[in-house]
């Protein structure tokens, strides 16, 4: 049986035409017409004014914190349930992450707990330099209360929308709810350039500065002169060409991921002790990954037993992110709450969710999961 991957790339076929054009023009460099066009088209797609195409989402997070002037001695609030890159960026600038637990109804940061954290920190005169709030697994965070709380304390938001391109909050695309928005085009994302990222903002000067820092901070001089430390973070024109073709099929990719989710729900929705990640009423998730929670008592098998049963049949499934407060590298960092993310990690499993999956393939996955369920046998 061919291996089913969690979230493999899904090319549309048009990418090669764009890449061919990049070759024809000889812009085989971390700048060029496809980079410029990708930035413009992407900014329009997420309804933000400006965008800087970068080598990764991690680079975008790093630059966002630098642009905000976050540095050693600062605190940064971070969603606890996320991929580690969200929190690594805090360390890149020498600051200290403070984690905030999830809300069960969306799996995203709990707005009430965020307020509690900010109130407590402000009482101790430790207002954070930024908040990195994640849109998890294709679902928007609850922006209205989050923004309200952060505004109250003047804490700028970095929206980590790496996993949620194409999702909406109250009919507005994610990515534009903070001072900066971050996207990733890693191979596992809903659209990909093999690797890459985008930093978006309505602040023209800030995005111009991001491009400057991302291009080795070259002063405007004919010789090579540098007055500050720069980074080699720009996206290649060849990869931007792939990104442009991928962006054109984004709406179809969102529909396909949602269809995969619906197939799983239809095939597994009756099983006791198996729940799907909820879709919050305030927005539309892309269902980037279909995630389920398995209650071993009711289901008759643990999440890990289900994962191993799938692996034995050459199917890749992954536990939900291990929360940041449980990561050895963040040992000793502050955490507000934590039990919700712990529970989601313990019971949560991400199923193969690629937009090219067929109904037959989803049935193959579902059948193995059904076989693990005591009540279904
Ligand atoms: C929530 C989140 N933030 C940041 C990143 C980092 O993006 P990249 O891999 O492009 O550096 C990822 C995924 O890779 C992610 O899932």
Does 197 sit in the ligand 1 pocket, CB within 6 Å? yes
Expressed in angstroms and rounded, the spacing between residue 20 Cα and the centre of ligand 1 is: 28
Evaluate if pTM is beyond 0.95. Answer: yes
Structure-token pair, residue 60: 């975008």
pLDDT the model gives residue 374: 84
Nearest residue to 65 via CA among 43, 45, 37, 85:
85
- Report whether 110 contacts 102 (CB < 8 A): yes
Phi, psi at 236, each rounded to 5°: -70, 145
Closest ligand 1 atom to the C-alpha of 134? 1
Structure-token pair, residue 180: 């900066």
pLDDT above 60 for 127: yes
CA pair distance 67, 316, nearest whole angstrom = 38
Close Cβ partners of 47 (under 8 Å, ≥ 6 residues apart): 172, 173, 176
Per-residue pLDDT tens digits for 173-205: 999 999 999 999 999 999 999 999 999 999 999
Decide: helix, strand or coil at residue 183: strand
CA pair distance 263, 362, nearest whole angstrom = 7
- DSSP assigned state of 313: T
State the DSSP H helix or E strand holding residue 97, giving kind and residue range, or none if neither: strand 96-100
Does 83 sit in the ligand 1 pocket, CB within 6 Å? yes
Nearest residue to 78 via CA among 46, 105, 117:
117
pLDDT the model gives residue 153: 97
CA pair distance 54, 162, nearest whole angstrom = 13
Does 237 sit in the ligand 1 pocket, CB within 6 Å? no
Q: What is the mean pLDDT of residues 245-262?
A: 98
Q: What is the mean pLDDT of residues 56-60?
A: 98
Mean pLDDT of the chain: 97
Does 162 sit in the ligand 1 pocket, CB within 6 Å? yes
Does 108 sit in the ligand 1 pocket, CB within 6 Å? no
Expressed in angstroms and rounded, the spacing between residue 134 Cα and the centre of ligand 1 is: 10
CA pair distance 97, 311, nearest whole angstrom = 34
Closest ligand 1 atom to the C-alpha of 82? 1
Close Cβ partners of 164 (under 8 Å, ≥ 6 residues apart): 135, 136, 137, 138, 139, 140, 174, 175, 285, 286, 288
Does 57 sit in the ligand 1 pocket, CB within 6 Å? yes
Confidence class for position 206, pLDDT limits 50, 70, 90: very high
Expressed in angstroms and rounded, the spacing between residue 194 Cα and the centre of ligand 1 is: 13
Residue 183's DSSP bridge partners are 198
Q: Kindly give the interhelix angle for 359-372 and 250-268, rounded to the nearest 10 degrees.
A: 30
Does 188 sit in the ligand 1 pocket, CB within 6 Å? no
pLDDT the model gives residue 52: 98
pLDDT the model gives residue 362: 98
SS3 per-residue string spanning 337-367: CCHHHHHHHHHEEEECCCCCCCHHHHHHHHH
- DSSP assigned state of 330: G
Closest ligand 1 atom to the C-alpha of 197? 10
SS3 per-residue string spanning 235-300: CCHHHHHHHHHHHHCHHHHHHHHHHHHHHHHHHHCCCCCEEECCCCCCEECCCCCEEEEECHHHHC
Expressed in angstroms and rounded, the spacing between residue 177 Cα and the centre of ligand 1 is: 18
Taking CA 238 as the corner, what is the angle to CA 233 and CA 243, rounded to the nearest 5 degrees?
85
Close Cβ partners of 55 (under 8 Å, ≥ 6 residues apart): 30, 195, 196, 197, 214, 232, 233, 234, 235, 236
pLDDT above 70 for 376: no
Does 135 sit in the ligand 1 pocket, CB within 6 Å? no
3-state helix, strand, coil in the chain (%, to 5): 40, 20, 40
Q: What is the mean pLDDT of residues 277-300?
A: 98
């Amino acid at each position: 049986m061919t291996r089913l991957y969690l979230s493999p790339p899904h090319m549309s076929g048009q990418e090669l035409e764009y890449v061919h054009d990049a070759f024809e023009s000889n812009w085989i460099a971390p700048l060029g017409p496809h980079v410029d066009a990708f930035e413009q088209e992407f900014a329009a797609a997420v309804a933000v004014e400006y965008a800087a195409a970068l080598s990764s989402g991690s680079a975008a997070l790093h630059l966002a914190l630098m642009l905000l002037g976050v540095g050693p001695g600062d605190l940064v609030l971070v969603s606890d349930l996320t991929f580690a890159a969200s929190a690594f960026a805090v360390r890149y600038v020498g600051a200290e992450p403070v984690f905030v637990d999830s809300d069960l109804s969306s799996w995203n940061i709990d707005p009430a707990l965020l307020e509690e954290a900010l109130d407590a920190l402000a009482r101790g005169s430790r207002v954070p330099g930024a908040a990195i709030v994640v849109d998890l697994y294709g679902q928007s965070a609850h922006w209205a209360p989050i923004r309200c709380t952060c505004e109250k304390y003047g804490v700028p938001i970095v929206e980590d929308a790496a996993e949620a391109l194409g999702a909406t909050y109250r009919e507005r695309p994610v990515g534009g709810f903070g001072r900066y928005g971050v996207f990733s085009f890693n191979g596992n994302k809903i659209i990909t350039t093999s690797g890459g990222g985008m930093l978006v903002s309505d602040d023209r000067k800030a995005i111009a500065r991001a491009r400057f820092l991302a291009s080795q901070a070259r002063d405007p001089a004919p010789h090579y002169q540098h007055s500050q430390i720069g980074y080699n973070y720009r996206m290649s024109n060849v990869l931007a060409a792939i990104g442009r073709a991928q962006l054109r099929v984004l709406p179809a990719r969102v529909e396909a991921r949602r269809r995969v989710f619906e197939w799983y729900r239809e095939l597994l929705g009756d099983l006791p002790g198996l729940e799907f990640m909820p879709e919050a009423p305030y927005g539309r998730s892309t269902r980037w990954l279909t995630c389920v929670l398995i209650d071993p008592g009711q289901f008759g098998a643990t999440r890990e037993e289900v994962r191993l049963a799938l692996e034995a049949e050459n199917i890749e499934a992954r536990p939900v992110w291990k929360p940041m407060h449980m990561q050895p590298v963040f040992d000793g960092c502050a955490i507000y709450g934590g039990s919700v993310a712990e529970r989601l990690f313990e019971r949560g499993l991400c199923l193969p969710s690629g937009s090219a999956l067929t109904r037959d393939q989803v049935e193959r996955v579902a059948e193995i999961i059904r076989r693990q369920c005591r009540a279904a046998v």
